[in-house]
Amino acid sequence: MNVLIVGGNRPLVFLWARSLRRAGFRVALANTPDTAAELLAERRFDILILDIGPEPGCALSVADMAQYRQPEARIIFVTSSSFFSDGSIFTLCANACACVPSGTAPEDLAHMAAHYARPPQPGARPG
């Protein structure tokens, strides 16, 4: 499974990438929306992990690109803010499947990525 991680906090992004690689994912990294756009044009991703850092617009612009280029890709947003704690991220981004705090254990993030990257089972309820 292919994962694209987009974020500016390099130590945190590398920590997530290491955990995902140990779990068997192929991981690509981008630290700017432009780099993310190039990767979205070149490769197919099952999961995107977007760090909603100090500039939430960057993550949302990448999410918009993903919705257009790869509508089947699921997006996990990671944030250190409580700004989206009301669930509004799910209204802004149809591909959003989770929004978790940046303190989430990397192993838990890898398990979430594995869960959401799987295709839905026939007859299963969305969720």
Q: Provide the domain count of the chain.
A: 1
What are the pLDDT digits (tens) for 79-106?
Answer: 876 665 666 667 778 788 888 988 899 9
Q: What is the largest CA-CA distance in the chain?
A: 41
Q: Extract the tokens encoding 103.
A: 């303190």
Distance CA 36, CA 86 (A): 27
Higher pLDDT, 90 or 59: 59
Residue 107 has pLDDT above 70, yes or no: yes
Confirm whether 77 is domain-assigned. Answer: yes
Confirm whether 127 is domain-assigned. Answer: no
Look up the domain containing 106 and give its range.
8-19+26-117
Please give the angle made by the CA atoms of 53, 91 and 115, to the nearest 5 degrees: 75
Confirm whether 92 is domain-assigned. Answer: yes
Work out whether the CA dihedral 53, 54, 60, 61 comes out positive or negative. negative
Pseudo-torsion of CA 1, 34, 71, 10, nearest 10°? 40
